[in-house]
Chain A
Amino acid sequence: MNDGSQPILSLRGIDKRFGAVQALSDVSIDVRPGEVVALVGDNGAGKSTLVKIMSGVYQPDGGEITFDGRQVSINGPKAAQSLGIATVFQDLALCDNLDVVANLFLGHERTSAGVLDEVEMERHSWELLRQLSAKIPSVRIPIASLSGGQRQTVAIARSLVGEPKVVMLDEPTAALGVAQTAEVLNLVERLRSRGLGVVLISHNMADVQAVADRIYVLRLGRNGAEFEIGEVTTEQLVAAITGASDNVVAERAARDKTGATIAPEDIDPDAVLPDGHHAPGTGTTPDSDEERDA
């Protein structure tokens, strides 16, 4: 068994090509039980490709994957699920017309004598939601009437139905407000305290620094850098993501130290802000990873 120091999921030297594009080359990451690992990187860095490889959507062209000490190949989403790797995709993939219970157990309905066991499923739903201390007013209302944060909660709770060992969250806070983001980050904490390995993909440096234990920076399809959370500053992260240290944030930090003020002409319009977006006014909001992958 795993004593917590051995990785539950380990990727070594992963390569992935799409035609002429080398999306990932020689990427390695480790996820340990009870640890939140953040994957950060600019658009096109290969975060989504890596997630899709771990969730079985894509097959890697090279490298090896070790799960719980055994070398495995993840042939499809079903294989990932049966290994114990659950993925919460960015679009949540919930059925708006079904209630919370139906969504939680979709594809894995409990039956007795061929008939849906609604009582058992409802009881189990409350158990799951309680474990996550989730605030859902009723499990018998359609998903459509829940808020964004509540939907995210349901999607995360659903990933736990199969009792996974690793949960991957793809941009869980991207569409949420402040309070809802806090709610989801609490949820991530609870997943960790249950001893799950959590992989968090995010553009939001504040979120990453709030919950992650370790941060992997992907840059142009390669391992850029790896940080322990205690030893990294936002500037270092941004520098690792952009591959440069001459950006507004670093400059400002430097100036703050020297007490200099910022003149408008000092601001580089092409610089990248810590949340991964270009400075306002440049007019070019980068496309999301999903669009690039499509």
Chain B
Amino acid sequence: MSTAYDQSDERLVEAGTPRAALGAFGRRIRSGDLGMAPVIIGLVVIWVIFFLQNDRFLSSRNLVNLSLDSATIGMISLGIVLVLLLGEIDLSVGSVSGVGGSIMAVLLVYQGWPLLAAILMALAVGVAIGLFYGLLFTQFGVPSFVITLAGLLAFLGVQLWVLGSRGTVNLPVDSWLIEFANFKFLSPLASYVLAVAIGLVYLVTRLRTIQRRRAANLSAPSFQGAVIRSAVMVAAMLFGAWYLNQDRGVGYMPLFWVAAIVTVDLILRKTRFGRSVFAVGGNEEASRRAGVAVNKVYITVFAACSTFAVLGGILAAGRLQSVAQSSGGTDTNLMAIAAAVIGGTSLFGGRGSAYAALFGMLVLQSITSGLNLIGVEAEVRYIVTGIVLLLAVTIDSLSRRARRSSGTA
């Protein structure tokens, strides 16, 4: 076989061997392209520390709770990741999630709407809020920071107005939303089947890509490598499922959250829209000249962010079984934004991954849960969370500087 197209340059330092791949990974890290590495290391460190403090931290029971608690704000954080990829920000996600939850609850409880209709209505409001932000941003050029700061205040008011004098709205105890968010878990068998199915889909798509790359005379990893990767992936998922199954198992709501993250990740990496999100985040003017519909990208992403915020608000209502004036308060807002940043999404735009929402949220929720277990008060939690956030932003800035000095800014 002749040399593959992409391996023919004599200056190419990477070849397809595992050692070369490892070397390439090392170079990437040194040149400041950190990816998910810091947050995963951070998560492991946090888990080890809390496990040493209290061995119940890594018990099945606690991890199931952790997964349930992460999903609500984690869903909001997924929207923040999208906005950050464009180099913008949405400070109002907390209020918007509160508004969404309130609209859903009031329509359901006081207007007698069916639950699904109430949820769809709340989501539609979320879309409308995001469209409004996007139009303000693209048509008048108002900075997103200010638009959404105004939104933070205004929608807090809207939430109080929707709830009215009632203050707190309790969802009907038999509602499937509460079931979904608290008591629905995959059966052990279903969780194992799902793990194997995901592994198989991954393996098949990977083998097909390898085949197509070989047909196109491009270098491709070996088939055995793909099989080993898939096997490791399946084994990890099976172990995770088995461990959670020792308690209640894999919850519907966390599964829904992870599915949303995987979907967003696929959209970002595999579609033209996703490509244009990264392009606009990297160089807006270049994208415009290349024919990317820049305004459409902004509006769509703002709409998606607000919609994910409402979705998070609805899940939170289901988890807490009620909506109150304090729903979606400051804590929600800050945690959602902090999770996206801790997960490794750059504040400077154009760098990050949907999985930032997953790992960032797990870090924050682990801190909360771990400190609760060792009986520390809320003030310590805030301080620790603040320090972790600061650490994450510092890593982001340092890696940006490293990229600059290695010529890859």
Which A positions have Cβ atoms within 8 angstroms of B?
77-78, 81, 89, 92-98, 102, 106-109, 111, 114-116, 118-120, 122-123, 126-127, 130, 135-140, 142, 144-145
Contacts and interface: CB of A to CB of B under 8 A. Distances in A.
A98 B11 contact: no
A107 B13 CA distance: 30
Interface of B: 5-6, 9, 11-14, 31, 33, 209, 212-213, 216-218, 269-272, 275-276, 278-279, 281-283, 285-287, 289-292, 350-351, 403, 406-409
A109 B281 contact: no
B270 A115 contact: yes
Contacts of A114: 271
Contacts of A126: 5-6, 218
A101 to B, nearest CB: 10
15 contacts: A81-B291, A92-B286, A95-B279, A97-B283, A106-B287, A109-B275, A115-B271, A116-B275, A119-B209, A122-B213, A123-B218, A135-B9, A138-B12, A142-B33, A145-B407
B216 A138 contact: no
Contact of B286 (A94, A138, A142): A94
A109 B272 contact: yes
Q: Which 8 A-B pairs have the closest CB atoms?
A: A107-B291, A107-B290, A97-B282, A93-B286, A95-B282, A126-B5, A97-B350, A144-B408
B216 A142 contact: no
Contacts, number: 108
A71 to B, nearest CB: 25
A93 B31 CA distance: 23
A83 B292 CA distance: 18
Nearest to A134: B9
B283 A94 contact: yes
A118 B347 CA distance: 27
Given A81-B291, A93-B290, A123-B218, A140 B272 contact: no
Nearest to B281: A97
A123 to B, nearest CB: 4
A144 B403 contact: yes
B212 A119 contact: yes
B352 to A, nearest CB: 10
A226 B290 CA distance: 33
Contacts of B31: 145
Contacts of A106: 275, 279, 286-287, 290-292
Contacts of A118: 209
Contacts of A119: 209, 212-213, 216, 218
Contact of A108 (B291, B350, B409): B291
A95 B283 contact: yes
Contacts of B209: 118-119
A136 B5 CA distance: 11
Given A81-B291, A135-B9, A97 B278 contact: yes
B286 A111 contact: no
Contacts of A140: 6
Contacts of B275: 98, 102, 106, 109, 116
A138 B27 CA distance: 15
Given A95-B279, A97-B282, A98-B278, A78 B291 contact: yes
A106 B287 CA distance: 7
A293 to B, nearest CB: 15
